[in-house]
Structure 1
Amino acid sequence: MAIDPCTSQTLTSPDGAELVVCAHGGHVLGWTPAGGEPRLWLSPTAECGPGLAIRGGVPVIFPQFAGRGPLPKHGVARNRAWSVVESGAGTWTAKLTDDENTRDIWPYAFELELTARAAGQTLDLALTARNTDDRPWSFTAALHSYFTVGDPATTVGGLGGLTASDNADGSQQQLDESLLALGTRDIAVEGAGGPVTLDDSRLGRLVVTANGFPDRVVWNPGAGHGLGDVPPGGESGFVCIEPALLEPVELAPGSAWTGTVRLDTGKR
């Protein structure tokens, strides 16, 4: 009997770190470091099913970020069922391949694979895109991570002095070293290759590092957001810090790209 792709699975590593996943969207729904508290936010009103994107956790964005192109927002990966390749103690791998439905939207053959490993104080994510077509194609991508915020005064650090573009109106600003995590914000910071920190007095520090994702997006919808799958006041419980690839990369037939992300609570 086939398992519903929206059915969640909890995978616990030998040291007690916990990973919660589901096949719909190749989605990491939750992560709890060993001996710690959950660090990924999942909306209590999140929806799941064909054509729906789960609000929270770590949605996979591919082959288009947001509305930066002709495809549906955030592409074709986050709102359809993937195949589970591996499921073990704190480790999970899922794969998405093109089909007639994806080719109706984006006319290329591809393979996308996400691996998640939770152990100790870290969660490691690896996203690999392979061109299985006989033509080159270009893509952008992101791991749209929703982080739990426990203290309203929580700040985002590591982006000070860099220039951010507002995704709504295109205006630019130079960022301070410390940004409030909560409040309306939707900015893209290109060339932000260093660690980004989330400093929360209740939950502790979380450090986001990445390779292959040279950019960062910081997003919170703010009060009065109008999102049907975020309950009123829910925006005060999370901030998105997204390792992203915002400039298109071209893959030749038979070639592959991999981007990796590490989330680390830093408690040793």
Structure 2
Amino acid sequence: MAIDPCSSQTLTGPDGAELVVCAHGGHVTGWTPAGGRGRLWLSPTAECGPGLAIRGGVPVIFPQFAGRGPLPKHGVARNRAWAVVDSGPGHWAARLEDDEKTRDIWPHAFELVLTARAAGQTLDLELTARNTGDSAWDFTAALHSYFTVGDSGATIAGLGGRAASDNADGRTTVLDEVLRALDTRDVSVEGATGPVLLDDPELGRLTVTANGFPDRVVWNPGPGHGLGDVPAGGESGFVCIEPALLEPVELAPGSAWTGTVRVEAGIR
């Protein structure tokens, strides 16, 4: 019997660390560190199905970030069913390959594999893109992570003093040393390879590090956002800190790119 790609699966590791995953979008929708509280936000009005993107968790962005190109916003990966290729206590992997529908949008042959592992206080994610065709193509990518915010005083550190480009109007500003997590903000910071710290007085600290993703995006839509799948006031429950690859990378036939992300929880 076929499995509904929108059905959630909870995978608990030997130490109690927990993943919640969904084949639609190759999507990690929940993560709870061992002995802790859930640290990924999922909208209570999130939608799932062909052509829809799940709001929350960790959407996979490929091969285009946002509207930076001719494709639909954020590309072709987050709104279609993937194939689960591995599943076990605290770990999971899923694969997406091109098909007729993706080639109608983006005419290239590819394979994406996302792996996720929860153990102890860490969540490890790995995204691999492979060119399975006979001609080169370029791409951008991100892991659009929605982190739960439990206190209005939560802050973000690790990006201070860097130039940030507003994703709506392109204006550039220099970021403060400490950012309020719930301020309305949609900025891209290129070349930000160091750790980013989300410090939440209620939930504790999260440290986000990445390899292969040289950039960071910070987003909170703010009040009055108009997003149909985020209830009024929902923006006060999350902030997105996204490891991203914003400058296109070219992949030759048969070659692959891999980006990794580690999120580590610290208890106050």
SS in 1 for 2:243: strand
Correspondence 1:213-252 to 2 at 5 A: 213-252=213-252
Q: Are positions 1:55 and 2:52 aligned together?
A: no
**Counterparts of 1:53 and 1:266 in 2: how far apart (Å)?**
30
Give unmatched runs, 5+ long, in structure 1.
none
Deviations 1:32-89 (A, max 9, x none): 0000000000000000000000000000000000000000000000000000000000
**Aligned equivalent of 1:81:** 81
Identity of aligned residues (%): 82
**Counterparts of 1:228 and 1:184 in 2: how far apart (Å)?**
17
What's the TM-score, normalizing by structure 2? 0.99
**Counterparts of 1:31 and 1:206 in 2: how far apart (Å)?**
12
Q: Are positions 1:108 and 2:99 aligned together?
A: no
**Aligned equivalent of 2:45:** 45
SS in 2 for 1:80: coil
Q: Are positions 1:13 and 2:27 aligned together?
A: no
**Aligned equivalent of 2:30:** 30
Give the count of matched residue pairs.
268
**Aligned equivalent of 2:99:** 99
SS in 2 for 1:41: coil
Structure 1 residue 176, shift from structure 2 partner: 1.0
Structure 1 residue 266, shift from structure 2 partner: 3.1
**Counterparts of 1:183 and 1:54 in 2: how far apart (Å)?**
23
**Aligned equivalent of 2:191:** 191
Tell whether the 8 Å contact from 2:92 to 2:115 is kept in structure 1 after alignment.
yes
**Counterparts of 1:169 and 1:111 in 2: how far apart (Å)?**
33
Deviations 1:114-138 (A, max 9, x none): 0000000000000000000100000
Structure 1 residue 267, shift from structure 2 partner: 4.6
Alpha-carbon RMSD = 0.8
Tell whether the 8 Å contact from 1:46 to 1:229 is kept in structure 2 after alignment.
yes
Letter in 2 for 1:60: V
List structure 1 runs of 4+ shifted beyond 6 angstroms: none
Letter in 1 for 2:128: T
Give unmatched runs, 5+ long, in structure 2.
none
Tell whether the 8 Å contact from 2:203 to 2:267 is kept in structure 1 after alignment.
no
Tell whether the 8 Å contact from 2:31 to 2:38 is kept in structure 1 after alignment.
yes
**Counterparts of 1:132 and 1:267 in 2: how far apart (Å)?**
43
**Counterparts of 1:39 and 1:267 in 2: how far apart (Å)?**
12
SS in 2 for 1:265: strand
Tell whether the 8 Å contact from 1:121 to 1:267 is kept in structure 2 after alignment.
no
SS in 1 for 2:101: helix
**Counterparts of 1:118 and 1:83 in 2: how far apart (Å)?**
20
**Aligned equivalent of 1:171:** 171
**Aligned equivalent of 2:122:** 122
Letter in 2 for 1:10: T
